């Protein structure tokens, strides 16, 4: 129980606040000041998500292997070598200097977290006690959550693909063709709604975690009253919010703003030196850290940082396996990562308070001028008819080679020389759609999602002139798979099939191309697709890509051949020629294999597989509709597994006419405690595409008493 001293201190500061809950257990918080509200948000988040918060803190500082064991070691090693915790400290120091109000607001949130943390059964399972949050910990959590968002490891894949298959392979395997999961977002102006006010809707696609990566919350004080989706461990509402008069939402812009430099390093009696673009060797920062691993001996790692950035792979002796063929003269390979917050000491947190205080689109626009990472496409609307469609974030100006591949640190011409101006866009026929496709951020990125989801959303919106907020779930849950076309075209051209294969082909060519959980045709299509992907991956032409260099384990998923082929299948099937591979014969073999399999429904194998720090075999894996190129983006890995680890981490509909007509949902529930009735109570709605109401009337909420604290 919270001590009387702590309560008295909060009361003296006017920060005690009030906690209300709706029928879904979602917290509605009210306090007298923004600072008091931040402290209350931290305290309630710690009460609802204690285990999750501590997992994120340990992951951000690279100490999760100390209780999760060896499987967490690759992440801890990466985080320490990338210096995320130190970068967060730097960014917090900058925040104190430039924006003391926001720094104090973040510190109040941390005070609340430290007040609210209590051990739960998960802590007892691993022998862990709740730790202490520092003022910069929320910034470290944010960095840890988003450091891989821009996909810098894809540069390693491009390097390998070009080296073994030639430059044309880079485009052949580009994300535009295969399509990885991303986020959907659409803005419908008042000219296209039944109320005359705008509607914003969408769903962020992330790895599904349990507890969830988003927290539904309401934050109200004398200055503002905002509902939205917060990131547990971070104050305010950064990505999706509705203040009553203005609402905003984001999708990943797919911008490229992180660089990988090949480094030439050498060890001397005084330390380690790196060769710079001026031809001189300079001593670099070096120290060692000890990573504790549950059940095993501690692991010592060497942390190096050149003038470009932290060394995340290799060192003076090369990669982990001693591979020394990284440069033309045999100098061992090391890779340094350069990312904006490490360079500038600024994460963009000065946008968070102005977002909460926003009243109009212009306020949101102005707040996001200082945003840094990740780079997002933002859509916003207000009750006065204001509309916003822009990119927000920080992207460096540098040579194009930096954006596409690894670049040599010892050669001039790869420096950062400034920052790009963030692009803006308008609406087309009263609608703006973003689904990670090439859009306003096209000039800032290299690879984008294919246009299927964006095209489908726009086609659905074009089916009628006027929309209501209540109509949006039908778009959220659309399962049409446009990317099925190339494989179906290949099937149509086959002849000489067995009777079973011919029958299956006929069924697939009549199929409505909807990846519904109950569909046998969707399951059969997925079986043919997976069989084809496995056969392509086994072709000798791709043999050189089956064993990637000894990069850190955390980067290897980007280099795995089978998923690359699975997600690039459209391009591989449509290419005029594919390294001499007999594609029709492989398609025939895949069809015959699938025809021999027993009948099944797509949901029999396409099931939800959320990440949990502590696996729970008792949790059922529910059946899912959708696929990675559907608007209902539940992403599996063709050829590897039908299980979906990624999907809509939340869904939202912001109604500008009446905020109480807005809706939201998360995959599991508001509480992170397994024994809470609100741990998984939203899952049935999430699975069917239904949304929970956003309650705005305090009289319809239940107030928690101090004894609940």
Q: What is the pLDDT of residues 325-360, one digit of tens each?
A: 444 444 568 999 999 999 999 999 999 999 999 999
Say how many C-beta atoms besides its own lie within 10 A of residue 598's C-beta.
4
Residue 321 has pLDDT above 70, yes or no: no
CA dihedral 489, 491, 493, 498 (to 10 degrees): -170
Q: What is the reported pLDDT for 326?
A: 47
Query: If pLDDT is split at 50, 70 and 90, which confidence band does 441 have?
Result: very high
Q: What is the reported pLDDT for 178?
A: 34
Q: What is the reported pLDDT for 2?
A: 47
DSSP string spanning 372-386?
-SS-EEEEEEETTS-
Q: What is the reported pLDDT for 616?
A: 83
Q: 485 vs 258, 452, 584, CA distance in Å?
A: 34, 11, 15
State the Cα–Cα distance between residues 266 and 262, nearest whole angstrom: 13
Residue 91 has pLDDT above 70, yes or no: yes
Return the higher-pLDDT residue of 707 and 103.
103
Q: What is the reported pLDDT for 205?
A: 94
Query: If pLDDT is split at 50, 70 and 90, which confidence band does 323 have?
Result: very low
Q: What is the reported pLDDT for 11?
A: 52
Residue 8 has pLDDT above 60, yes or no: no
Q: Mean pLDDT throughout 670-679?
A: 96
State the Cα–Cα distance between residues 169 and 162, nearest whole angstrom: 6
Average pLDDT for the chain: 94
Q: For 523, how many CA atoms within 13 A lie in the half-sphere containing its CB?
A: 18
Q: State whether residue 312 is helix, strand or coil.
A: strand
Query: If pLDDT is split at 50, 70 and 90, which confidence band does 174 have?
Result: confident
Q: What is the reported pLDDT for 618?
A: 80
The pLDDT tens digits for 564-601 are: 999 999 999 999 999 999 999 999 999 999 999 999 99
Q: What is the reported pLDDT for 149?
A: 87
At 308, which helix (H) or strand (E)? none
DSSP string spanning 488-517?
HHHHHT--S--HHHHHHHHHHHH---B--T
Query: If pLDDT is split at 50, 70 and 90, which confidence band does 471 have?
Result: very high
Return the higher-pLDDT residue of 9 and 119.
119
pTM for this entry: 0.95
State the Cα–Cα distance between residues 439 and 424, nearest whole angstrom: 10
Q: What is the reported pLDDT for 706?
A: 53
Exposed (0-12), middle (13-18) or buried (19+): which is 510, by Cβ within 10 Å?
exposed
Q: State whether residue 563 is helix, strand or coil.
A: helix
């Amino acid at each position: 129980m919270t001590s009387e001293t702590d309560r008295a201190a909060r009361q003296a500061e006017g920060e005690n606040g009030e906690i209300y809950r709706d029928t879904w257990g979602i917290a509605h918080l009210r306090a007298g000041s923004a600072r008091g509200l931040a402290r209350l948000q931290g305290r309630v988040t710690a009460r609802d998500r204690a285990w999750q918060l501590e997992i994120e803190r340990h992951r951000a500082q690279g100490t999760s292997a100390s209780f999760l064991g060896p499987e967490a070691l690759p992440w801890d090693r990466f985080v320490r070598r990338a210096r995320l915790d130190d970068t967060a400290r730097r960014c917090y120091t900058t925040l104190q200097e430039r924006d003391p109000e926001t720094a104090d607001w973040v510190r109040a949130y941390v005070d609340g977290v430290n007040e609210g943390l209590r051990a739960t059964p998960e802590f007892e399972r691993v022998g862990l006690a709740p730790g202490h949050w520092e003022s910069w910990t929320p910034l470290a959590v944010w960095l840890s959550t988003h450091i891989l968002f821009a996909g810098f490891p894809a540069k390693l894949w491009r390097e390998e693909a070009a080296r073994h298959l030639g430059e044309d392979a880079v485009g052949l395997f580009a994300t535009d063709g295969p399509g990885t999961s991303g986020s959907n977002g659409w803005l419908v102006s008042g000219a296209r709604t039944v109320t005359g006010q705008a509607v914003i809707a969408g769903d962020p696609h992330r790895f599904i975690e349990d507890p969830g990566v988003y927290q539904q919350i309401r934050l109200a004080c004398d200055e503002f009253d905002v509902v939205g989706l917060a990131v547990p461990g971070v104050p305010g509402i950064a990505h999706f919010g509705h203040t009553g008069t203005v609402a905003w939402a984001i999708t990943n812009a797919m911008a490229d703003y992180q660089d990988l430099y090949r480094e030439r390093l050498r060890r001397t009696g005084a330390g380690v030196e790196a060769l710079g673009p001026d031809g001189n060797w300079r001593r670099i920062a070096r120290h060692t850290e000890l990573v504790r691993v549950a059940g095993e001996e501690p692991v010592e790692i060497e942390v190096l940082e050149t003038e470009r950035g932290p060394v995340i792979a290799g060192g003076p002796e090369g990669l982990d396996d001693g591979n020394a063929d990284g440069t033309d003269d045999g100098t061992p390979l090391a890779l340094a990562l350069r990312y904006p917050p490490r360079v500038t000491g600024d994460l963009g947190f000065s946008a968070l308070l102005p977002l909460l205080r926003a009243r109009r689109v212009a306020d949101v626009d102005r707040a996001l001028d200082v945003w840094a990472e990740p780079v997002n496409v933002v859509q916003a609307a207000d009750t006065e008819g204001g509309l916003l469609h822009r990119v927000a974030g920080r992207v460096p100006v540098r040579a194009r080679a930096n954006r596409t591949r690894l670049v040599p640190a010892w050669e001039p011409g790869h420096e950062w020389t400034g920052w790009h101006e963030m692009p803006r866009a308008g609406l087309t026929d009263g609608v703006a759609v973003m689904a990670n496709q090439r859009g306003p951020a096209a000039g800032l990125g290299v690879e984008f999602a294919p246009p299927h989801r964006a095209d489908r959303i726009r086609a659905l919106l074009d089916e009628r002139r006027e929309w209501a907020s209540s109509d949006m779930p039908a778009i959220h849950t659309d399962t049409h798979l446009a990317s099925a076309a190339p494989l179906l075209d290949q099937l149509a051209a086959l002849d000489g099939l067995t009777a079973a294969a011919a029958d299956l082909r006929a069924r697939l060519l009549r199929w409505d191309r909807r990846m519904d959980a109950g569909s046998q045709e969707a399951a059969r299509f997925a079986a043919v697709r997976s069989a084809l992907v496995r056969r392509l991956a086994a072709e000798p032409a791709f043999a050189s890509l089956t064993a990637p260099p000894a990069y850190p384990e955390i980067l290897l998923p980007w280099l795995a051949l089978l998923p690359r082929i699975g997600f690039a299948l459209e391009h591989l099937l449509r290419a005029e020629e594919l390294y001499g591979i007999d594609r029709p014969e492989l398609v025939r073999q895949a069809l015959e294999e699938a025809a021999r399999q027993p009948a099944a429904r797509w949901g029999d194998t396409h099931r939800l597989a959320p990440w949990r720090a502590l696996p729970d075999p008792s949790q059922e894996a529910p059946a899912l509709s959708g696929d990675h190129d559907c608007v209902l983006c539940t992403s599996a890995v063709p050829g590897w597994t039908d299980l979906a680890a990624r999907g809509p981490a939340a869904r939202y509909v912001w109604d500008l006419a009446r905020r109480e007509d807005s809706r939201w949902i998360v995959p599991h529930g508001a509480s992170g405690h397994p024994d809470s009735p609100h741990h998984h109570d939203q899952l049935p709605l999430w699975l069917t595409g239904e949304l929970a109401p956003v309650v705005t009337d305090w009289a319809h909420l239940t107030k928690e008493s101090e004894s609940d604290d």
